[in-house]
Amino acid sequence: METNPLYYGLPARVRLDKIADNQLAIRKVIKSRLIRKDAEKIVSMANQIRSISPKLEIALICTRNICSKSIALLSSNNINTVYVDE
């Protein structure tokens, strides 16, 4: 599994982490709150990854500062959320 964002056609600033054998995570750990507009960008990144590797499961690594609408949008698009403390 490739963790280079350029392989999937994503900007070089996007950080991708391998969680499991068939699971790739987009790392978005910021101090401010993750809002719905950020979640929409994450969904488009996940769709771009799925267009290259459709069998991959996508997750988001973030802090607990995320709004409920973002969580609902991510879960409706089959994107798991993994929380970290930083």
Q: pLDDT digits over 42-71, tens only? A: 999 999 999 999 999 999 999 999 999 999
| Per-residue confidence band for 85, with pLDDT thresholds at 50, 70 and 90 | confident
Which CATH architecture best describes the domain 5-83? 3-Layer(aba) Sandwich (3.40)
pTM for this one?
A: 0.92
Q: pLDDT digits over 24-49, tens only? A: 999 999 889 999 999 999 999 999 99
- Using CA atoms, how far apart are residues 62 and 58, in angstroms rounded to an integer? 13
**Helices 36-52 and 68-76 meet at what angle, rounded to 10?**
20
